[in-house]
Amino acid sequence: MTISATIEQLKQNISRVIVGKDDSIELLVASLLAGGHVLLEDVPGLGKTMLARSLAKSIVGRFQRVQCTPDLLPSDITGVSIFNEQSRQFEFKPGPVFANILLVDEINRTTPRTQSSLLEAMAEKQVSADGKTYRLPAPYMVIATQNPIENHGTYPLPEAQLDRFLMKLSMGYPTLEEEVAILHRQQKTQALDTLAAVINAKSIVKLQNMVKEIHIETSVANYIARIVHATRQHKSLAFGASPRGSLALMRSAQAIALIRGQGFVDPQTIKTIAKPVLAHRITLKPQHQASQNAESVVDEILEKIQVPIGQNSGLNAKHGPAEDPVRKTTPQATPKTPDAIPPAPNTTQGSRPQKKNVETTDTGMELIDL
């Protein structure tokens, strides 16, 4: 089974529970493969928690959930040291943050003090307590949910913590046909209850390493930088995206390319993911908040920034000329220069050995170990 087929099986497993939200599923999986975290913001009942749990159940790993409340303490998340009377020493008891997938449900219902306890874990994948540093397991991902329609009893996430999330996703309402499918699917049983894992944590780490090898031409890297730089100069914005936004856009695009079986990043991929990656990192000026939102500003910037077209817009020497997504033409090949970024492994043909360890779950689904 190829790498693309392996990732597709993970996506299809999640879609057994989540109906009609293929774009959200792809972006969630891309965030996982990019080593990032996701903030799910939408009205109640649209399946935010279900989406997070479906991803967690699809992976053989440790899953923990924190239901945020106003009286939740930082130590309830990170862990606490307890005195052991037998050994006469303090022993650290890890909190739910020590997991592969951590679901922080309704994160805006807990205080800023508790929210900030996740900063170190999200940025550095470690926890410091009582003078010691504890590494978090790999892979590590925080999926937080919040409800945007209520203000009473909530604490908005500060900009510094929003910036820790690789993407901010909104699922939206289902169509009429999708809602009918949801009713039929859950008439007798809940699909999540029978969902089985299809990939293990070790294989996810391998895929994360492969994401970093996806080829990015210099012109495409410049395109990313120009988009992010434009957010700092836009007249409607008080604050633009930081270099962390540039890195997030690059890594997310690499993950999408791996998911789609490409060995390179093309400009169209950048345009596709720009809003979920950048919109939550920019702040509108007060006088523009009534007439604009962050997504419309990102759209405006994308309209103005020229898309790289031609030799260096997505060509990979190993894969051959790539069709340009804007002009729908095939660019001419360019000789490789000594300082060019090396091409990524051919994921569609399988640069790794094809033999894999395959286990079978109780439900008959194959559990793939890359």
3-state SS class at 3? helix
Return the top range by mean pLDDT from 82-86, 273-277, 284-288, 332-336: 273-277
Question: Which one-letter DSSP state was computed for residue 157?
Answer: P
Position 314 scores a pLDDT of 53
On the question of pLDDT at 348 being above 80, the answer is: no
> Which burial class, exposed, middle or buried, applies to 175 when counting CB atoms under 10 A from its CB (0-12, 13-18, 19+)?
exposed
From the list 202, 211, 249, the residue with the least C-alpha distance to 356 is 202
Q: What is the token pair recorded at 31?
A: 């965030």
- Residue 256's identity, in one-letter code, is I
Strand order in the sheet with 199-200: 59-60, 199-200, 366-369, 357-360
pLDDT averaged over the chain? 84
pLDDT band at 351, cuts 50/70/90? very low
Q: What is the token pair recorded at 303?
A: 């309209």
Rounded distance, CA 131 to CA 128, Å? 7
Higher pLDDT, 274 or 308: 274
CATH class of 214-344: mainly alpha
DSSP labels, 45-92: TSSHHHHHHHHHHTEES-EEEEE--TT--THHHHEEEEEETTTTEEEE
Over the stretch 83-139, which tens digit does the pLDDT of each residue have?
Answer: 888 888 889 999 999 999 999 999 999 999 999 999 999 999 999 988 899 999 999
Over the stretch 285-313, which tens digit does the pLDDT of each residue have?
Answer: 998 888 889 999 999 999 999 998 754 45
Average pLDDT over residues 192-216: 94
Domain assignments of the chain as residue spans, ordered by start: 214-344
Position 345 scores a pLDDT of 39
Q: Phi and psi dihedrals of 167, rounded to 5? A: -140, 155
* 23 close to 196: Cβ distance less than 8 angstroms: no
